[in-house]
Structure 1
Amino acid sequence: MSRATITLRGESADRARIEALLTDDTLLVLEDCDLTGADLSRLNLQDCVLTRCALADVSFYAANLARTRWQRCRGGHADFESADLVDARFEACDLNNAGWRRAKLASVAFRSCKLTGARFEDVSQLGLSFEDCLLVGADLRRMSFRKAALRGLDFADADLSGCDFRDAVFEEGCSLRDAHIKDTRFDAADLREADLGGLKLSNAKQFAGATISTRQAAELVRALGLNVA
């Protein structure tokens, strides 16, 4: 049975307003709405579409956000802890400093998003993808990017400790400048297009079989305090 669509445009809405519209047979669409600071924790917002919404400091704690679509939303410091976001799509969103702790991010796609300072602790991430995203200073510890094609990802100053980049290909626009790479694996990765400035190479085994350019090799050697003649 098809679901009726309810669209809110240009409204300032709180939890009570959103909750009143949610039924099993309705699809909620929010356009240009202001939800700043709202508590939407544990709500069933599955399949909702949000476009150009203000979501700063919104709590989506343990909410059902599966198959949601987010376009050009601004959600600085939003809290997605323990939320179910399976198959969600984020396009051109500003999610700086958002928290994703223990969120279910299987098959989630982030495209052209700002995720500076975002925290991805202990997320479920099978099929998670990023493209053309700012991840500057983000906490991505122990995430797997194995065999991924990485395009336009800025990991500058990000915490990549324990991450798996084995066999990954860093394409144009990628940066690892000053990233934290304790116990990070880059075995057989192609790093030739990545900015490796400031990396502290403490264990060469992390890069076993990786491909880098002559210029990058010189930078890494200089980082060890050696002179390249």
Structure 2
Amino acid sequence: MEMDRDLLAQQLAAGIRHFVQCSFDDADLSRLDLQDCVFERCTFNETILYACKLARSSWQRCRGMSADFESADLVDAHFQGCDLNNSKWRRTKLASASFRSCKLTGAAFEEVSHLGAVFDECLLVGADMRGFSFRKATLNQLDFSDADLSGCDFREAVLEGCSLRDAVLKLTRFEAADLRGADLGGLKLTDVRAFKGAVISHAQAAAILGEMGLLVA
């Protein structure tokens, strides 16, 4: 079912908060109150959700390629199995939000408030995650390949099945982090400083030195 802003507003006025297989593609839904809404197998491709109230909303197997969530309130929102490649999240409120089994390749998380936000089994390839704090978190199956992790805090975090291959690690902190379950391929000599105090395996150390042209005898 195709739904534009006016039709959605009518549905909301009638008390409807559960939407299944609806298309909101290219719609401008800026500033709408969508708190507690459930979206199931809906599409939001290139949809504008600027400053929407989306607290406690639930997104199940939705597609939102290049969707723009700028300045939206997504506190305690939950995304499960969604395709959100190249989506924009600038200045969103993501406190206690969760992303599980989601595709977020190329997503831009700029200046977001994210205390308690959870990412689990997600693709974050090429994503802009600058300034995120994952301190003391256990990270499971996150692919940060080619992501910009500048200024991120991974201190005391445990990375299980994660990839940091070719990620940007300027001013990133890993003190006391357990990186034995992470792919550290593609590191440059300047990146090695970021891993000061982190725990890595003998195999990882040998691989890092090998990529730098050194032979471990």
TM-score, scaled to structure 2 = 0.97
Change (3 A) 1:118 1:203: closer
Aligned residue for 2:29? Answer: 40
TM-score, scaled to structure 1 = 0.92
Aligned residue for 2:44? Answer: 55
The runs of at least 4 consecutive aligned structure 1 residues that moved more than 3 Å come to: none
Query: 1:221 and 2:209 equivalent?
Result: yes
Change (3 A) 1:49 1:132: same
Aligned residue for 1:14? Answer: 4
* Percent pairwise identity: 62
Spell out, residue by residue over 1:31-65, the C-alpha distance to the aligned partner (whole angstroms, 9 max, x if none): 00111101101000000000000110011000000
Structure-1 separation of matches of 2:189 and 2:7 = 53
Q: How far 1:27 moved relative to its partner? A: 4.3
Structure-2 separation of matches of 1:201 and 1:41 = 45
Q: 1:132 aligns with which of 111, 117, 121?
A: 121
SS in 1 for 2:182: coil
SS in 2 for 1:202: helix
- Unaligned ranges ≥5, structure 1: 1-10
Q: How far 1:222 moved relative to its partner? A: 2.3
Aligned residue for 1:191? Answer: 179
Matches within 5 A, 1:134-153: 134-153=123-142
Structure-1 separation of matches of 2:29 and 2:131 = 29
Aligned residue for 1:92? Answer: 81
Aligned residue for 1:3? Answer: none
Q: 1:30 aligns with which of 19, 24, 30?
A: 19
Aligned residue for 1:119? Answer: 108
Q: How far 1:224 moved relative to its partner? A: 3.0
- What number of residue pairs does the alignment pair up? 217
Query: 1:176 and 2:164 equivalent?
Result: yes
SS in 2 for 1:221: helix
User: Structure 1: which amino acid aligns with 2:102?
Assistant: C
Instruction: Calculate the aligned-residue CA RMSD, in Å.
Output: 1.2
Q: How far 1:221 moved relative to its partner? A: 1.5
SS in 1 for 2:9: helix
Spell out, residue by residue over 1:111-158, the C-alpha distance to the aligned partner (whole angstroms, 9 max, x if none): 000000000000000001100000000000011000000001000110
Q: How far 1:20 moved relative to its partner? A: 1.7
Structure-2 separation of matches of 1:64 and 1:179 = 33
User: Structure 1: which amino acid aligns with 2:83?
Assistant: D
Contact 1:188 1:207 in 2 (8 A): no
